[in-house]
């Protein structure tokens, strides 16, 4: 397994191009199952999770062709990929694939809506929590689906006349189940109302794409989404929105090391809350036509108190990165994780670098320390691993991050993007 070696102490200066959002690309790719025509997605990030989902979609009968393009010398835009599900050849999503990437469970919505049948493996838990699918099952039942769970699979059948509209109210904000309910309801007979819907920008991006395909969705981005079902969806072309978690991650990295970096393509409205926190900590954030510029020159880092919340609150996917940053703050910070029950695995790894963090249930108390020292650390989940990278960028000496396949799931060419801004970082192929 590849490792990444980082020698701390270098400031970051220059430009980082922000890739298309992983968490928008995945539901958009799954939406291609809803039509026999071609869905063209531009600005797809080159990530392990995107490659894995391409494989899964191929199983169901989706053909895809790529015509990525190069702009300038070495700045690759994301890929432009054409997805065509002329017919669904297999309605089953097997355990060995779904278990590796939870989002593949979301194919249940389009498979059910398009063909009336879906057999999808339960995704199982993962490092950050049990991550059940009860909200998905309740939502699909509200659209008329008959659902049973058998031998680790969710087996869903639509009524003979197809799915019908319904009233869905989520007990807790859920991004995935909001995506799935929207996709299934797009082809149901009649009107569906989703209440307490997720307001993440990726939900809005999916709704915008579905509407280009002929769906009739209003209210995406608000807590109430209304879908008027249509008989068929058609091909369309859609560009994936920039990755707000990647943007926030590199913004925290610059705040940590000091320096001045333009996050090219980042959009302020996708990272309002992280920008507010960054300014409180002491970074300077300037909005420009090209993106978001982050700098910190000289003065120290102030402690903060943050609670993770659904959008537009502070995102749980930036929690580990924030924790790494405040390890070097002048004072005591607190971070309360409210979305997942076990998203503090990075704590013991940060402690190996000299961080002073105590946990009490869902609250981490971080007492800033004057320095961190490099050490071998282990990546445990996608976002925890990049938190370790941020800490390593200022740790004295070498840090070796192991199991970097976690990083490759969500960060495109991380060592290249940081290395071009001055970080002393290299990937060591196993
Ligand atoms: C999406 O996961 C993201 N993944 C996650 O990013 C992100 O952390 C999460 O939303 C929250 O913003 C993708 O978009 C691919 P949820 P999702 O359904 O949809 C509970 C990353 O690092 N829940 O919003 O799976 C669940 O256990 C990943 O890119 C139920 O109880 O998350 C969690 O506590 C990590 N029953 C909470 O709701 C259900 O049926 C929010 O989960 C569904 C969810």
Expressed in angstroms and rounded, the spacing between residue 230 Cα and the centre of ligand 1 is 28
- Residue by residue, DSSP assigns 69-98 as -EETTTEE--EEEEEE-SS----EE-HHHH
Closest CA to 281 of 316, 240, 331: 331
Query: Atom of ligand 1 at shortest distance to CA of 310?
Result: 12
Ligand 1 pocket check for 189: Cβ under 6 Å: no
Mutate to test the pocket of ligand 1, among 339, 362, 379, 384 (most ligand atoms within 8 A of CB): 339
CB neighbours of residue 428 within 10 Å: 11
Where do we find the tokens 């039942």?
141
Expressed in angstroms and rounded, the spacing between residue 175 Cα and the centre of ligand 1 is 6
Would you say 275 and 249 are in contact if contact means Cβ atoms under 8 Å apart? no
CB neighbours of residue 373 within 10 Å: 14
Tell me how many degrees the CA angle 343-315-345 measures, rounded to the nearest 5.
15
The C-alpha atoms of residue 326 and residue 320 are separated, in whole angstroms, by 10
> DSSP assignment, residue 354?
T
Is 209 annotated as catalytic?
no
- The confidence score (pLDDT) of residue 73 equals 34
Closest CA to 346 of 99, 125, 128: 128
Ligand 1 pocket check for 168: Cβ under 6 Å: no
Query: Atom of ligand 1 at shortest distance to CA of 339?
Result: 34
- The confidence score (pLDDT) of residue 147 equals 97
From first to last of the 430 residues of the chain, give the pLDDT tens digit. 889 999 999 999 999 999 999 999 999 999 999 999 999 999 999 999 999 999 999 999 999 888 754 433 333 457 899 999 999 999 999 998 888 889 999 999 999 999 999 999 998 777 777 778 999 999 999 999 999 999 999 999 999 999 999 999 999 999 999 999 999 999 999 999 999 999 999 999 999 999 999 999 999 999 999 999 999 999 999 999 999 999 999 999 999 999 999 999 999 999 999 999 999 999 999 999 999 999 999 889 999 999 999 999 999 999 999 999 999 999 999 999 999 988 999 999 999 999 999 999 999 999 999 999 999 999 888 899 999 999 999 999 999 999 888 999 999 999 999 999 999 999 998 7
Expressed in angstroms and rounded, the spacing between residue 12 Cα and the centre of ligand 1 is 32
Q: Looking at 126, 209, 327, 421, which residue is catalytic? A: 126
Ligand 1 pocket check for 175: Cβ under 6 Å: yes
Where do we find the tokens 């070097």?
328
Closest CA to 95 of 62, 131, 121, 57: 121
Would you say 23 and 246 are in contact if contact means Cβ atoms under 8 Å apart? no
Ligand 1 pocket check for 129: Cβ under 6 Å: yes
Where do we find the tokens 């006349």?
161
Helix (H, G, I), strand (E, B) or coil at 287: strand
Would you say 180 and 140 are in contact if contact means Cβ atoms under 8 Å apart? yes
Same fold, 3-16+243-428 and 24-239: yes
Architecture of the domain made up of 24-239: Alpha-beta prism (3.65)
Q: Copy the structure tokens of residue 149.
A: 């769970």
| Atom 43 of ligand 1: nearest residue by CA position | 133
Ligand 1 pocket check for 316: Cβ under 6 Å: yes
Helix (H, G, I), strand (E, B) or coil at 68: coil
CB under 8 A, 24+ apart: contacts of 159-164: 160/116, 161/189, 162/113, 162/116, 162/187, 162/188, 162/189, 163/112, 163/113, 163/187, 163/188, 163/189, 163/229, 164/188, 164/189, 164/190, 164/229
Ligand 1 pocket check for 205: Cβ under 6 Å: no
Alpha-carbon distances, residue 170 vs 47, 128, 139, 196, 311 (angstroms):
30, 21, 8, 5, 15
- The confidence score (pLDDT) of residue 379 equals 84
Expressed in angstroms and rounded, the spacing between residue 385 Cα and the centre of ligand 1 is 18
Expressed in angstroms and rounded, the spacing between residue 398 Cα and the centre of ligand 1 is 34
Query: Atom of ligand 1 at shortest distance to CA of 198?
Result: 24
Ligand 1 pocket check for 135: Cβ under 6 Å: yes
Closest CA to 348 of 382, 314, 318, 375: 375
| Atom 6 of ligand 1: nearest residue by CA position | 317
The C-alpha atoms of residue 391 and residue 346 are separated, in whole angstroms, by 11
Alpha-carbon distances, residue 250 vs 32, 266, 291 (angstroms):
31, 10, 13
Domain residue ranges of the chain, discontinuous segments joined by +: 3-16+243-428, 24-239
Would you say 121 and 153 are in contact if contact means Cβ atoms under 8 Å apart? yes
- The confidence score (pLDDT) of residue 130 equals 75
| CATH class held by domain 3-16+243-428 | alpha beta
- The confidence score (pLDDT) of residue 77 equals 54
């Amino acid at each position: 397994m590849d490792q990444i070696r980082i020698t701390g102490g270098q400031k970051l200066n220059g430009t980082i191009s922000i890739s298309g959002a992983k968490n928008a690309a995945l539901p958009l790719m799954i939406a291609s199952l809803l039509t026999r025509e071609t869905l063209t997605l531009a600005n797809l990030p080159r990530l392990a999770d995107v490659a894995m989902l391409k494989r899964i979609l191929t199983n169901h009968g989706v053909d895809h062709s790529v015509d990525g393009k190069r702009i300038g010398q070495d700045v690759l835009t994301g890929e432009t990929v054409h997805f065509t599900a002329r017919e669904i050849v297999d309605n089953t999503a097997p355990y060995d694939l779904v278990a590796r990437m939870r989002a593949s469970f979301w194919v249940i919505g389009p498979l059910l809506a398009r063909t009336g049948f879906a057999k999808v493996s339960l995704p199982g838990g993962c490092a950050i929590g049990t991550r059940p699918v009860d909200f998905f099952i309740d939502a699909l039942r509200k659209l008329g689906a008959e659902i049973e769970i058998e031998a680790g699979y969710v087996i869903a059948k639509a009524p003979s006349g197809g799915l019908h509209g319904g009233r869905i109210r989520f007990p807790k904000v859920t991004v995935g189940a909001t995506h799935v309910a929207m996709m299934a309801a797009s082809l149901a007979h009649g009107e569906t109302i989703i209440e307490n819907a997720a307001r993440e920008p990726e939900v809005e991006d999916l709704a915008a794409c579905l509407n280009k395909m002929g769906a009739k969705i209003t209210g995406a981005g608000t807590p109430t989404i209304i879908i008027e079902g249509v008989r068929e969806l058609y091909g369309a072309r859609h560009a994936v929105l920039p990755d707000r978690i990647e943007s926030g991650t590199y913004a925290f990295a610059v705040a940590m090391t000091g320096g001045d970096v333009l996050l090219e393509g980042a959009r302020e409205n996708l990272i309002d809350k992280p920008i507010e926190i960054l300014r409180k900590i002491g970074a300077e954030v300037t909005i420009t036509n090209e993106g978001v510029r982050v700098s910190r020159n000289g003065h120290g880092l102030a402690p903060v108190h943050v609670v993770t919340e659904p959008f537009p609150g502070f995102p749980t996917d930036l929690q580990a990165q924030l924790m790494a940053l405040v390890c070097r703050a002048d004072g005591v910070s607190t971070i309360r994780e409210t979305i997942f029950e076990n998203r503090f695995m990075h704590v013991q790894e940060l402690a190996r670098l000299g961080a002073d963090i105590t946990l009490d249930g869902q609250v981490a108390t971080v007492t800033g320390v004057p320095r961190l020292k490099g050490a071998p650390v282990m990546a445990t989940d996608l976002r925890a691993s990049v938190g370790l990278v941020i800490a390593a960028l200022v740790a004295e000496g070498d840090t070796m991050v192991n199991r970097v396949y976690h990083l490759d799931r969500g960060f495109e060419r991380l060592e290249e993007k940081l290395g071009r801004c001055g970080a002393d970082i290299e990937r060591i192929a196993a």
